[in-house]
Structure 1
Amino acid sequence: MALKVIHYPHPTLRHVSRPLMRVDAELRAMVDEMLELMYEHEGIGLAANQVDLPYRLFVTNPTGDPDSPESERVFLNPVIVRGAGTAEGSEGCLSLPGLYGPVVRKTSIRVQAYDLAGNEIDEELTGLAARVFQHETDHLDGTLFIDRVPPSHKASLRDELEEFEIDFSSKQESGDVPSDKSIADRIAELERLRT
């Protein structure tokens, strides 16, 4: 299946992802495709929801550089165990292209997850890596960065968000995007296969 980045307000972006129970060749191929899409769209993180998959999985490369594969990370079933400190920073999202807003995040977090080989990850992340992990974990819980911007700033995004909503609605009406029911049925089937 060819993956593509979906845009707000696609229902899968609000879907709470389910933990993965198994990794196979097909899932590894999906991860490779997610990394390619992340670079193609000049991102530094991409969650499964953003490519219309209901799995607790995301990929990151805080450098954003495809020529730095040593910085690539794959996180399966990620959990934030604890966090410390806070800082505000500007965030954007590949599912809301062109939109940015200030978001307060923890500056240091302890995380647990698994990699594709099934090895447990248990480490402290700081700075940009911590921000990206929190942003992508939010995605897996159906939360977008626009949910975390201050109300005063969100008001300034309203017109652009409405444009996304109108565009999505017209694509559903024309059949370019499946109906909400078709999307929900597909998500349920994908969950049945892997979670």
Structure 2
Amino acid sequence: MPLEIVHYPHPTLRHVSKPLAKVDRQLRDWAAEMLALMYEHEGIGLAANQVDLPYRMFVINVTGDPDQPEHERVLINPVLSKGKGQTTMSEGCLSLPEVRGPMIRNTSIRVQAYDLAGNEIDETVEGMLARVIQHETDHLDGILFIDKMTPTERAEVDDDLYELEVDWQSRQNTGDVPSEETILARLAELEALRC
């Protein structure tokens, strides 16, 4: 079954993702599919739980350009530390279409992770790459950028969030999307297979 980007308030977006124990063909296939979805929706980052997978993995390309694959990164089990500096910039999210808001992030961070070849990554990154890595790592912890907004900023997007919530409820009522219990049971099964 092909992957799809899930929208707020899908329960998987609030699920704390589990570390992956191994890299295999299925994981590489998912990463390729995630990159394709990210480009299709004009994004620059996409976390596994945004495609209803409960794993600590995300894909990024800060250019957002599929013709620049040299900028593609797949990070598995990322751990962030040594955040330095702060800058504010407007952020959006593929799981929250049409919702944007100012977000304070560290300008530089240390990231430790693994790539799809199983190689260890340990580097300090800055600028937009640092911002995207922080945004996607938040996803893996079940945190959305709207959670970090001030009450005033959040009030400005409340109507958009309400529309997404109504749409989700409507789709659940018609059986277009599974119940929360069914989704959580599926996540537990997926975790048992790989984590």
TM-score when normalising by structure 1: 0.99
Does 1:85 find its partner at 2:85?
A: yes
Matched residue, 1:145: 145
Matches within 5 A, 1:83-162: 83-162=83-162
CA distance in 2, matches of 1:188, 1:144: 21
CA distance in 2, matches of 1:172, 1:82: 42
Matches within 5 A, 1:1-195: 1-195=1-195
CA distance in 1, matches of 2:34, 2:166: 27
TM-score when normalising by structure 2: 0.99
The farther-off stretch of 24-33 and 57-66 is 24-33
- 8 Å CA contact 2:98, 2:160 repeated in 1: no
- 8 Å CA contact 1:102, 1:150 repeated in 2: no
CA distances 1:123-178 after superposition (whole Å, capped 9, x unpaired) = 01100000000000000000001011221110011111011000001101111100
CA distance in 2, matches of 1:21, 1:87: 34
- 8 Å CA contact 1:83, 1:108 repeated in 2: yes
1:23 shift after superposition: 1.3
- 8 Å CA contact 1:89, 1:103 repeated in 2: yes
Q: Secondary structure at the match of 1:169?
A: helix
CA distance in 2, matches of 1:170, 1:97: 17
1:24 shift after superposition: 1.1
- 8 Å CA contact 1:21, 1:194 repeated in 2: yes
1:26 shift after superposition: 1.1
Unaligned runs of 5+ in 2: none
Q: CA RMSD for the aligned pairs? A: 0.5
AA matched with 1:163: E
The farther-off stretch of 145-154 and 10-19 is 145-154
AA matched with 1:25: R
AA matched with 1:119: N
AA matched with 1:132: V
CA distance in 2, matches of 1:61, 1:93: 14
CA distance in 2, matches of 1:108, 1:159: 33
Q: Secondary structure at the match of 1:46?
A: strand
CA distance in 2, matches of 1:118, 1:46: 20
